[in-house]
Chain A
């Protein structure tokens, strides 16, 4: 498999990966292989992580949490 083919597969995973963890792993792999993402692609993943932060905060939303 060529580096270009590998990057194509990773980019597919980044675009279509079911889980945020898998998408972040695909992002890491792209960076590792020296492939550049656009600013919008980076920001989209960060915003998705923020949404996941909100879900995880809600899952632990007790009287004690967040004080």
Chain B
């Protein structure tokens, strides 16, 4: 998981500005985002929040309410940054230079990925197994950027 965003930044670094480059970067972005949504869904399943969305009801207890609140706050921040990254990709017209702010936005989103293990250690092993597949795919895509 930690290597996914750096791989995306590498893709940006070596990217020319063709439609195929935009396609490769978009695919890597969406794969990274998918990886986070898998972690998101796993955390929700581990917590089973009640209607207040603040108290975990899962038995046996895997996550404390405080851990769930911390995770929620951070993943909401990630999704806000992800929307900004996505809009930069949408607004990027093929044939134009790669937006400089795109690299900055991805670096900001990477902080969530870096912190993910500390946020929900009980989920880490399961999530890493799923995310390894995406890491491998992303590395193949990055290798395909010319």
User: In the complex, A39 Cα to B146 Cα: how many Å?
Assistant: 18
Please tell me if the beta carbons of A27 and B27 are within 8 angstroms of each other in the complex. Answer: yes
A67–B26 contact, CB under 8 A? no
The CA of A57 and the CA of B41, in the complex, are separated in Å by: 12
Using CB atoms and an 8 Å cutoff, list the residues of chain A in contact with chain B: 21, 24-25, 27-28, 31-32, 34, 36-39, 42-43, 45-47, 49-50, 52-54, 56-57, 59-67
Q: Which residues of B contact A24 (CB under 8 A)?
A: 27, 30-31, 33-34
In the complex the two chains form, what is the Cα distance from A59 to B49 in whole Å? 10
Interface SS of chain B: helix
Query: A36: which B residues are within 8 A, CB to CB?
Result: 19-20, 23
What are the 10 A-B residue pairs with the smallest beta carbon separation, nearest first?
A: A65-B76, A60-B72, A53-B79, A66-B76, A31-B27, A64-B69, A65-B72, A24-B30, A46-B86, A43-B90
A10 to chain B, nearest CB (A): 12
B73 — which chain A residues lie within 8 A by C-beta?
62, 64-67
Please give, as numbers and ranges, the residues of chain B lying within 8 Å of A46 by CB-CB distance. 26, 29-30, 86-87, 89-90
A25 to B90, CA, bound (A): 19
Number of interface residues of B (CB under 8 A): 39
Given A57-B79, A65-B72, are A50 and B86 neighbors across the interface (CB < 8 Å)? yes
Q: CA separation between A53 and B31, bound complex, in Å? A: 14
User: Known pairs A38-B19, A56-B40, A60-B75. 19 more at Cβ < 8 A?
Assistant: A21-B34, A27-B27, A27-B30, A28-B137, A31-B27, A31-B141, A32-B144, A36-B20, A39-B22, A42-B22, A42-B26, A43-B90, A49-B30, A49-B33, A50-B83, A56-B75, A60-B72, A64-B72, A65-B73
The reply to whether B26 and A60 form a contact with Cβ atoms under 8 Å apart is no
Complex interface: chain A residues within 8 A of B75 (CB): 56, 60
B61-78 vs A: 1/0 string, CB under 8 Å? 000000001101101110
